[in-house]
Amino acid sequence: MTTRKGNGASIRTIRELTGISASELAQRVAIGRSYMSLIETGARQPATAKLRLIANALGTSIEAISYPVEVVYDEPGKVPA
């Protein structure tokens, strides 16, 4: 079982649900792929302006990615239906 929490969990979950790769999202937001990974894992918290860019690139609101969530996966790598 895999557990994700926080802003990074929201960003990664929405990204996966929309079918956008992490590399593509990083490119759309003009940041490095490694920095995007740090955001998604919760190791870095981007500024509000960067969160807005990420939300826009995902086609969602900043509230949707800013609200802390906990996502639990029964099977690692599988997005729940």
pTM: 0.76
CA 73 – CA 54 distance, rounded (Å): 23
Q: What is the pLDDT of residues 44-77, one digit of tens each?
A: 988 999 999 999 999 999 988 877 655 555 555 5
CA dist 35 and 37 (Å) reads 5
Q: Are 53 and 63 in contact (CB under 8 A)?
A: no
Report the largest interatomic distance among the alpha carbons of the chain, rounded to a whole angstrom.
Answer: 34
**Tell me: the pLDDT tens digits for 6-59?**
788 889 989 998 899 999 999 999 999 999 999 999 899 889 999 999 999 999
